[in-house]
Structure formats: structure tokens, C-alpha cells
Amino acid sequence: MTGEPMTGETLSGDRMAMLSISAVERDTGLSKDVLRMWERRYEFPHPKRDRHGERVYPPDQVTKLRAIKRLMDRGFRPGKIIGMSIDDLNSLGSTAANRDGHDEEVEAILDLVRAHQLPELRQRLTQMLMRQGLQRFVIDTVAPLTMAVGEAWVRGDFAVFEEHLYTEQIQGVLRNAIASAQVHSKSPRVLLTSFPSEQHHLGLLMVEALLVVEGATCIPLGTETPASEIVRAVGAHRVDVVALSFSAAYPERQAASGLKELRASLPKNVHIWAGGSCVRRMRRGIDGVELVRALDEIARLISHWNTDHPRN
């Protein structure tokens, strides 16, 4: 904490309800860097301090942070909503949810999660995958379903463990489908990862599934890979494309700066594709970087790559 202002009040009284910054990061999906940046830039959150001088967050602030995160996932900019009350944030979230709507299949899966019926949940997801095919399953089911789960969590309809339960089940279904589909994968060779402080596993897995459907060979590194290690992995695996995911909470300036640095460090023939909720908010392009603003753009990108790189 050296060099940071000691903002917020010193903690007194009952500490049991307070959450550490690490716990808030896990609970909300907002990184520590983002929480500290918002504290300086927007004066929210405004944590208290424990007896060691470490940040701790009251439950009402954590609840508001969750609501902000879910609205950011829908494309809202943090600076526009962070000053709103929790009631106004929830109202805005309900309006957005009602506009999008949920079909009966999504509601049925939400009910299975609430009822903790794991075998039935996995069977339902597997059946939908078989009926729709992997591409449509990701775009038409997983994407809206994940958004609906997040909204339920913000409203208090889902506990944190129930959201985790859903995530684990959907990741298991996708991993099995990817393993089956990748047998005949060829090119391009795509490395998938995220920058440090970006922990959005499910987004990367969804992109991997769509890439495999289009015939790409995927090299997943998981999340939070430093740029220097991405460069090393590109050389080791003869990578054609680096695909990066940025969730809503990732700072836009930090994403843009990191992408520019990575672009300057990679050979010109290696493409960079960046996607996620953060990217959808970016108003300016980045030279040498393809900003992927929707999942259904992936098929077009692969088609263009294959046209430009015909196989012998």
C-alpha cells in the first residue's frame, strides 16, 4: 500500500461482515486494480481500514459493486453509473433484462440451478448442445444464459456458490465438446489467453469453442498471462493468431495500452484479436489489432484468414 492515500475510515466495531479486497475481487469479478482506480477516480468504493491498515469493504458497497459489474457486462460505462444509488442500478438492470428477455429454455436452466439439480442440469445442457450444435449452443444459449445467471446473482436470486455451480457445469460441457471437435483442427493456430488481472475463464472457453468449430487449432494458456510470456509462447507454438479476452471490469485504457505493447512485441504476420465486454465499449480502433465486438464475428475472421492464407 506504500504511496497510496489512506482513504476511508478506520474500521471499528464488528469486523465479521467486512470483506477484504481479495474477497471482493473474487465475489464481484472486479480486479484489485480496478477497485483502487475507482476509489481514486470516482470516490467509490470507499472502504474502511482494519487494524493493519488494509482495505475492507462493507456489504452494501459490495452489493453495489456487483450491480455495477453486471451493467458493465451489458455495455454501460462505469463513469456513467457508478454514482447511481443501488435502487437506480437495480432498476436500470431490470429494464435492460426485460428488453432482452429470456426464453423458456433459459428459465428452465435457471430453475435447475436454483434447485441444485446437478445431474439434470448437465443433462439439459448436453441435450441443448446436441440439438443446436456447438456454434449455436455458444451464441444462442451459453451467452444469454450466462448473462441471466449474472443478473439473478445481482438481484439476490442466486447465491455466489450457485453462480459458481453454473459456471463449473457449463465449462465442463464446453470442454468435452471442444475435445471432441478438435480432432480435425488445422489452421490457423490460435493462442488464447488474457492479460494479468483478467480472470474471465468462461469467455475464453466460449471463444475457443467457436474457433474449433471453424477448424482452428487452439492453444489455451488460461488467464492472466504477462505480455512477455505471450510473446514467448507465440514463438514456441508457431502461433498465427493471439486471441485475448477482456471482461467488462477491465479498464479500457489499460487494455488498449497492453494491446499496443503486445502488437509492438510480436511479428507483423501474427494477428491479434481482442474481444469481450471491455472491447465493445472501445470507441477507437488499435492499429494492427482486430477488435471483435460480437461472438458471431469469429466465423468471419477465420474465413478471412483462410482466404488470405490458402493451404497448399
What pLDDT, on the 0 to 100 scale, is given for residue 94?
67
CA contacts within 13 A on the Cβ side of 138: 25
Helices (H), the chain: 21-28, 32-42, 59-73, 78-81, 86-100, 104-114, 118-132, 134-136, 143-155, 160-181, 201-213, 227-237, 252-265, 277-281, 298-308
Residues 189 and 176 in one domain: no
Tens digits of residue pLDDT in 29-87: 788 888 999 999 999 999 999 888 899 999 999 989 988 888 887 778 888 899 999 88
Residues 189 and 304 in one domain: yes
Among the candidates 99, 125, 158, a domain finishes at 99
Domain harbouring 127, CATH code = 1.10.1240.10
What is the SS3 assignment for 236?
A: helix
Residues 266 and 195 in one domain: yes
What pLDDT, on the 0 to 100 scale, is given for residue 90?
79
- Average of pLDDT values for 91-107? 68
- Average of pLDDT values for 115-140? 93
Domain harbouring 256, CATH code = 3.40.50.280
What pLDDT, on the 0 to 100 scale, is given for residue 250?
86
CA pair distance 304, 216, nearest whole angstrom: 13
Q: Which residues of 92-129 are buried (b: 16+ CB within 10 A; e: fewer)?
A: bbeebbeeeebeebbeebbebbeeeeeeebbebbbebb
Residues 72 and 109 in one domain: no
What pLDDT, on the 0 to 100 scale, is given for residue 95?
66
- Average of pLDDT values for 102-121? 88
Dig out the grid coordinates for 88 from the structure: 437506480
What pLDDT, on the 0 to 100 scale, is given for residue 25?
86
Domain harbouring 30, CATH code = 1.10.1660.10
What pLDDT, on the 0 to 100 scale, is given for residue 76?
81
Please report whether residue 4 resides in a domain.
no
pLDDT band at 7 (very low <50, low <70, confident <90, very high): very low
What pLDDT, on the 0 to 100 scale, is given for residue 249?
81
Please report whether residue 5 resides in a domain.
no
Dig out the grid coordinates for 2 from the structure: 506504500
What pLDDT, on the 0 to 100 scale, is given for residue 12?
46
Counted domains in the chain: 3
The percentage of residues in the chain with a pLDDT greater than 70, rounded to a whole number, is 90
Residues 204 and 276 in one domain: yes
Angle, CA of 43, 226 and 166, to the nearest 5°: 70
Residues 236 and 251 in one domain: yes
Residues 191 and 280 in one domain: yes
- Among 16-30, 96-110, 159-173, top mean pLDDT goes to 159-173
Query: Is residue 38 within 8 Å of residue 81, measured between CB atoms?
Result: no
Tens digits of residue pLDDT in 238-276: 999 999 999 888 888 899 999 999 999 999 999 999 999
Q: Residue 15 pLDDT more than 60?
A: no
Residues 249 and 171 in one domain: no
Residues 189 and 299 in one domain: yes
Please report whether residue 150 resides in a domain.
yes
pTM: 0.76
More confident residue, 132 or 182: 132
Tens digits of residue pLDDT in 140-183: 999 989 888 887 877 778 888 898 899 999 999 999 999 988 76
Among the candidates 135, 159, 180, a domain finishes at 180
Range of the domain at 148: 101-180
What pLDDT, on the 0 to 100 scale, is given for residue 8?
45
Residues 274 and 246 in one domain: yes
Residues 275 and 231 in one domain: yes
CA pair distance 141, 250, nearest whole angstrom: 24
